[in-house]
Structure 1
């Protein structure tokens, strides 16, 4: 009896250890390896045979110790739930997965950039647009004014080309107003005020002084607005550059706040800043070209006014010479009598 107990005790200890290791092995089999098949659960043929007496003495403890393992393990290997197989991915789905997510597109039209610009940049843009409008207004106005003035002065010079005296020239011009009429009126006034003075040189000098004042006044009148064109052409690029610097400064401030160097973040601000420079050039380039054009046209008109001054001076000289000739003739006739 004692020998039988000594033989059965190692077997009971082994069965108890196997029952304790059963839950751990079952848990590991769920995560790492597939469940064992029925053939793998059969006892090894090399295991020692157990006598009926040993089985009867050791069976109750083994069953009681293996009961928790049976409760914690699944009922059968087939009861373990297998993970669902992944659905096949088509080539179109793979292409869509590789595509980047669409980003928000900014409207970079000039009007939208103006609306989203900084308030100071807006003022710069409005000022440059107004300067451009002033430039084209002066261009149209000066073109009409110079064309009409040159045509009228050429017609007046043609009219008095055959006149022999100041009075005859004034009658030929009639009631027309213009620089030539002002020159003839100044010559007549000086001749009337210098009546009784025998010095022709003094009369001509005083008349030439009056003519120079009239020519200068006409030059100032015809050049009215040219200084504004020069100012716009010289300062508009720098005003636009100021707006660009301010806009780029705000863009860099936005970069520091957003903590990103993504071009999509800074591109709208930089585009708004560069729009100010573009408007500055749009205002400056036509202003410079129009100023240079009208400077040449004005110079030609000033030369035409100089011709009118010379024509009035010649008529005054004839009247003075004719007066002296008539006075000399009268003196001779009186001496002959």
Structure 2
């Protein structure tokens, strides 16, 4: 028992081949999880800043292609099309472009859901394997003392801890970032609808010749 190290590295070094494989896989998943969170945070910040600049009336290179697509679609005239139908067509075009932009900003956010759901089961496999190792040790030594079962139990609990270290931040990151991107997506849809109204607004018709304007 005294020779067992409770540090993550010590537990990894003392584990068997299967235990080491499980821990290594979960460690890589944990690192990947944090990289995905940082990537999503960067995309979220960038897109939020672009929307704030657009609301303030400033041009933004991130949203400029969407506005250009809307303007291009607004210039297309369809015979028999009403203003409302033309406005809806422009809004749909800008909405699709906005969704594509949002998807790029999210990066690998969906992979966080995979990590959060799979990691506990991978850790559970390592836990079961470690407990099985303890039973094998008991059978070989014909002794149920703590010194016999401690290595296997330590390996089992270490696998559980590695699994939770990957699953917890992945679950929190996916839920929090997913909610933030959902709100941002709704803001983009609203912006597309508002911008479509501006692009399809007909200019004020000139006063016909021969009709006098009313006196102020």
Residue in structure 1 matched with residue 56 of structure 2 by the alignment: 158
184, 205, 208: which is aligned to 1:325?
Answer: 205
Deviations 1:216-256 (A, max 9, x none): 22332233322111111111111101001011112211211
TM normalised by structure 2 equals: 0.86
> Quick check: 1:245–1:273 contact (8 Å CA) kept in 2?
yes
Shift of 1:122: 0.8
How many residue pairs match? The answer is: 211
- What RMSD in Å do the two structures reach over aligned CA positions? 2.5
256, 273, 276: which is aligned to 2:159?
Answer: 276
TM normalised by structure 1 equals: 0.57
CA distance in 2, matches of 1:199, 1:301: 30
Pair 1:192 & 2:89 matched = no
Which blocks of at least 5 consecutive residues in structure 1 are unaligned? 1-103, 161-172
Q: How does 1:1-337 map to 2 (within 5 A)?
A: 105-109=2-6, 110-159=8-57, 173=59, 176-179=60-63, 181-194=64-77, 199-318=82-201, 321-322=202-203, 325-326=205-206, 329=207, 332-333=208-209
Point out the more displaced range, 132-141 or 121-130: 132-141
**Compared with structure 1, are the counterparts of its residues 224 and 211 closer, same or farther at alpha carbon in structure 2 (3 Å cutoff)?**
same
> Quick check: 1:106–1:268 contact (8 Å CA) kept in 2?
no
Deviations 1:178-227 (A, max 9, x none): 23x23321222122222776632332232122123123223322333221
Larger Rg: 1
Which blocks of at least 5 consecutive residues in structure 2 are unaligned? 212-216
Moved over 6 A (4+): 195-198
